[in-house]
Structures are given as structure tokens and as C-alpha cells.
Structure 1
Amino acid sequence: MHVGRMYPLKEFLFWTRREIYLITIITIIPTVLYAYFDIKWIAIPWVPIALVGTAAAFIVGFKNTQTYNRLWEARQIWGAIVNSSRAWGILVHDFVKQEEAGNTHQQLIYRHIAWLTALRYQLRESRTWENMKKSYNVEYARFFVVPEKVNKLEDELSTLLSAEEEAYVLGKKNRATHIISLQSKHLRELKEKGLIEPLNYVELENMLVNLYEQQGKSERIKNFPYPRQFASINLFFVRLFMILVPFGMLKEFEKLGDDLVWLTIPFGIVVSWVFSTMEKVGESTENPFEGGPNDVPITSMSRTIEIDLREMLDETELPQPIQPLHDILM
């Protein structure tokens, strides 16, 4: 998530420079053919091009609205996870009696932090439809670091789970799911020992069900892409419009004067760049967990939750909040 006031124009130009090179070539060729080689028949009336541009603008606007909705829903889900996590800490502290040997509260809270860790690692896994492997995104990725891409899950879990539980969890595919199942098993054992009242046990189990629900919502967004038919037609319409724009501008600028036909190049580049950039912005918002600069900052939110829960245990050696790098907060 970008936390600065705005993206600098130079970063946008860097991010879209490959498109700018392509647009420049597409614009220069028909202009040179028309003005220098006097091939007049390549000019196209502006009306049909404007119709294509209208369709492209409509589908681009539709896509950007829907991808923003996906991003906002993902943010709401993780807002609910933050609230439920804090509630979990309170309920554990007030509803669960400490065992004579061991630290029950710490086990339950550390295991919850392990669930957050496993979930964010799962959400950062790549999918075939995601966009961060595209060349322009790979280049832009030098401005920030995705912790889940550089740190190992095993190292993170080793400080939160026992060796036996860590081995069990790492042997599963959906690790977050099985961490919750360990929590439920532990709660049942505590109830059987009389350390949790029956009604309090039900409340704690309901909290685990709520966490499963939020996990499932996150997985739904992660595993169901923005429909490919809409993404494809959006790209096709924008590319078609980019190709047609200079052919429609030739006669329009020639009406202002023979030498002014060369204005087709700068104005054609600007118009095509606007449409191309709008399409890329929508694309960059499609997948809010993939590890891009416009993602929901689940790493930072998980760290915030961890700090809150550790403070509920009266710990003093707390991890530092995640800081943005080049105004990108992960």
C-alpha cells in the first residue's frame, strides 16, 4: 500500500515507460507516412475512432471500479481480523485459567500469531493470473520488499509453536486451517480440565469459527481472479484504441495547417498513454494479496496485531512496527 501523499510522476513514467515506447512508435509511423511520404489514404475519420474510445473508456472504468471493490473488500476482511484478534486476546486473558505448569495464555496467543503468519504467507503465494511477474512490475518491485518473499515460514513459526506443532503444521497444505484446529483441540483439553467454563468455551469456539470465516473470505479473493473475459476485453479495446488514435488525428491537425500535422505525435502519445495507464492501474489493483505496491498491507497489519497481543501478555520486548520503504507499506 502506498502511504505517501501521491505517486511521483517520475515513478509512473518509469512504471509505464515500456508502453510509452510502444505508443511512440505506433504514433510516429502513420504520421511520417502521411506527412513525409504523402500517403493520405491512411487517415481515418475521427467519429469511428471516438466510438471505439468511448467503449474503451466504459470498460476501463468498469474494471477499475470492480478491482477497487475487490481491494476494499480485502481491506474490510483484514480489518475484521484485527478486531477479532484483539477480542481473542481479551477472551483468552479473562476466560482461560492458567495451568499450574506452563503458560496457557502465551500458548493460545502465540498460536494465534502463528495463524496470522501462516495465513499471510499463503496469501502471498503466486497464482498464474497474478501480475507481479510481469516485466514492468518486476522492475518496479525494486522500490519495496515483500517479507514473505525473503523470509522463510519455518523460521517465523519456530518462535511461536512447539517443535511438535510446527512439524505437524508444516506437513499440511493449508497450514493456517490446521493451526486453528490445534487451537480448538487445546481449548477442548482445557475445558475437560475445568480451566474454561462451558459457556466461555462456547464463546471461544465461536471466535475460532469467526476466524475461519475471515480466512475463507481472504482465500475467496485470493483464489478467484477478476474474471478473465473482462480483463481480456479491457486490454483488447485499449490496445485497439491506441493503434487507431494517430490515424484519426492526422486530418484533424492538418486542418490547422500543413505543418501542424506533426502535432499528432505528442497529442497521440498523451491520449494513448492516459488510456494505457488507466488500464494498468486497474490491473495493479486486481489481486490485493499478491505482494504489489497497491496491496492490502497484511504484513504490517499482522505485526500490529502481534504487538497488541504481546502487550496483553505484559511482554516488554516487542517487535518493531513495519515501516514503509519508498512509501510502500507491505
Structure 2
Amino acid sequence: MNLSSHYKLLHFIPWTRAKIYKMLLLSVVPTALYYLAGWTWLFVPWVPVALIGTATAFISGFKNTQTYNRTWEARQVYGSIINSSRSFGIMVRDFVRAENKETEAGLHQEMVYRHFAWLTALRFQLRESKSWENVKSKSYNREYLQYYKVPEWESTLGEELKPFLSAEELNGILSVQNKATQIVSNQSLQLKELNKNGFIRDYDYVTLEGQLKDLYDQQGKCERIKNFPYPRQFASINLYFTNILCFLLPLGFLGELSKHVSAYGNWFVLLTIPLSVLVGWIFLVLEQIGESTENPFEGSANDIPVTQISRNIEIDLRQMLGQKEIPPAITPVNNILM
């Protein structure tokens, strides 16, 4: 997530420079043929260009709206995870009781640490790369990775889980496919044992199980966004329409500007190049921005900051336990927060 007021041109122009090169090529070639080779027939009427531009603007706007909705939904889901985590923390602290204070504190820490493990496993699963994601497959996104780091790509899940789980439980978790799901399952098994042994009253046990169900609900919503891409048919027509428009733009501008040659001279058609580059760049960038917003967990600079949110939850719950050694909050790097 970018925390600055806007992307600076120093970063934005290099990120989109391939689009500029593309439009330069598409505009220079027909303009040179028209101006230097005398191909004065090389133009198309402006009406079909305008119609295609209208359709492209509509589908680009639709895509950007829908991809933004995916990102906003992902942020809402993680907002619910924050609230559910805090509720789970105070319920564990207040519902799980033992006559021995050390035993009680140990149970609280064990369950809260297992919740930290769930947060960790979930964010690692969400940051796994999918075939339709763009952050690693597109050169301009890979190049932008120089400005930030994705923590889940810098370490392993096993190392991250070690502080939160016993060696036996850790080995069991690492052996299953959906690790976050299994961690919540283990949490439920412990609640069952604590209720059986009298550490949790029946009503409190049911309430805590309801919190686990809510965590599963939020996890499922994250997995739906992660595993169901923006429909490929809509992504494809947006790409095709934009490229057709960019191909026709210089030909349309040639047709329009050539009408004024008698008044301004032949050089006037050379304005085709900057005008085509500018208008084409706008449409291509709209398509690229929509593409970069499709997958809010893929590890891009526009991601939901799941690492930072998870750390803030950890800080809150550790303080609920009365711990003094608290890990530092995640801070942005180059105004990008992961």
C-alpha cells in the first residue's frame, strides 16, 4: 500500500515507459510514411476511432471499478480480522481460567501465540504467486520491486512459525496443505479439551468456538479473492480494445490534422506523434492500473498491507497478555507498506 499523497512521476513514468515506447512506435511509423513518403491516403476517419475510444473508455472504467472493489473488499475483510482477533484475545484472557496463575498465563499465551501462527500462515498463503497475477510476470512490476520488499518472500513459513508453536505442532502444520485452516482446527481441539477439563465454562466455550468460526469465515473470504481472479474475459476485451484504439489513434489524428495542412503547412501533421502518444498513454495506463489492482494479495506496491496489519494485531494481543517485550510496528519503505 502506497502511503504518499500520490505516485511521483519519478516512479510513475519509468513504470509506464513501455507504454510510451509503444505509442511512439505506433505514431512515428505512419506519420513518417505520411509526411516523408507521401502516403497521404494513410488515415482513417475520426468517427470509428471515436466510437472505439468510447467503448474502450467504458470497458476500462468498468474494469477499474471492479478491481478497486476487489481491493476494497480485501481491506474490509482484514478489518474484520482485526476486530475478531482482538475479541478472541480478550475472550481467551478472561474465559480461560485455572487455579494456578502460572498455568492460566501459560494457556493464554499458548492460545494467543497459536493465533499469531494463524495470522502468519494466512498471510504466507495469500502472498503465494498465482499464474494470473502480474507482480512477477510483468517486467515493469518486477523492476518496481527495487523500491520495497515483500516479507513473505524473504523468509520461510517454518521459520516464522517457530516462535509461536511447539515443535510437534509445527511439524504437523507444515505437513498439511492448508496450514491456516489446520491451525484453527488445533485451536478448536484445545478449546474442547479445556472445556472438558473445566478450564472453560460451557457458555464461554460456545462463544469462543463462534470466534473460530468467524475467523474461518474471514479466511474463506480472503481465499475467494485470492483464488478467483478478475474474470479473464473482461480482462481480455479491455486489453484488446485498448490496443486496437492505440493502433488507430495515429491514423485518426492524421486524418483530422491533414484537413488543416493548407492553413498551417505540411508540418502540422507532425502533431500526430505527441497527441497520439498522450492519448494512447492515458488509455494504456488506465489498463495497467486496473491490472495492478486486480489481485490485492499478490505482493505489489498496491497490496493490502497484510504484514503490517498482522504485526499490529500481534502488538495488541501481546499487550493484552501484559507482555513488556513488544515487536516493533512495521514501517513503510519508500512510502510503501506491506
Report Cα offsets for 1:180-213 as digits up to 9, x if no partner: 0110011011111101000000000000000000
Q: Which of 278, 281, 286 in structure 2 is aligned with 1:270? A: 278
2:209 paired with 1:201: no
Structure 1 residue 254: Cα displacement: 2.5
What is the SS of the residue equivalent to 1:288?
coil
Q: Which of 136, 139, 155 in structure 1 is aligned with 2:140? A: 136
Structure 1 match to 2:176? 172
Query: Structure 1 CA distance, aligned partners of 2:259 and 2:236?
Result: 36
TM-score by length of 1: 0.99
> Partner amino acid for 2:148?
F
Unaligned runs of 5+ in 1: none
Structure 1 residue 316: Cα displacement: 1.0
Q: Which of 324, 327, 336 in structure 2 is aligned with 1:319? A: 327
Query: Structure 2 CA distance, aligned partners of 1:255 and 1:31?
Result: 15
Report Cα offsets for 1:135-167 as digits up to 9, x if no partner: 110001111100000111111100000001100
Structure 1 residue 40: Cα displacement: 1.1
Structure 1 match to 2:337? 329
What is the SS of the residue equivalent to 2:58?
helix
Runs of 4+ in 1 over 6 A off after TM superposition: none
Query: Structure 2 CA distance, aligned partners of 1:13 and 1:58?
Result: 24
Query: Structure 2 CA distance, aligned partners of 1:26 and 1:80?
Result: 48
Structure 2 match to 1:157? 161
Query: Retained in 2: the 8 A contact 1:225–1:287?
Result: yes
Structure 2 match to 1:85? 85
Structure 2 match to 1:49? 49
Structure 2 match to 1:183? 187
CA distance change for structure 1 residues 264 and 228 in 2, over 3 Å: closer, same or farther?
Answer: same
Matched residue count = 330
Query: Structure 2 CA distance, aligned partners of 1:67 and 1:170?
Result: 33
2:130 paired with 1:127: yes
Query: Structure 2 CA distance, aligned partners of 1:46 and 1:99?
Result: 83
2:299 paired with 1:291: yes
> Partner amino acid for 2:130?
R
Structure 1 residue 80: Cα displacement: 0.1
Structure 1 match to 2:219? 215
> Partner amino acid for 2:162?
S
Structure 1 match to 2:36? 36
> Partner amino acid for 2:309?
M
Structure 1 match to 2:315? 307
Report Cα offsets for 1:56-109 as digits up to 9, x if no partner: 000000000000000000000000000000000010011111474640000010
Give the alignment's Cα RMSD to 1 decimal.
0.9
TM-score by length of 2: 0.96
Query: Structure 1 CA distance, aligned partners of 2:98 and 2:328?
Result: 28
Query: Structure 2 CA distance, aligned partners of 1:44 and 1:81?
Result: 55
Structure 1 residue 259: Cα displacement: 1.3
Query: Retained in 2: the 8 A contact 1:246–1:265?
Result: yes
Determine what percentage of the aligned residue pairs are the same residue: 55
2:235 paired with 1:231: yes
What is the SS of the residue equivalent to 2:41?
helix
Query: Structure 1 CA distance, aligned partners of 2:272 and 2:200?
Result: 76
Query: Structure 2 CA distance, aligned partners of 1:16 and 1:71?
Result: 21
What is the SS of the residue equivalent to 1:255?
helix
Unaligned runs of 5+ in 2: none
Query: Structure 1 CA distance, aligned partners of 2:99 and 2:183?
Result: 21
Query: Structure 2 CA distance, aligned partners of 1:130 and 1:299?
Result: 19
Query: Structure 2 CA distance, aligned partners of 1:146 and 1:99?
Result: 44
Structure 2 match to 1:114? 117
Query: Retained in 2: the 8 A contact 1:98–1:105?
Result: no
Query: Structure 2 CA distance, aligned partners of 1:10 and 1:267?
Result: 22
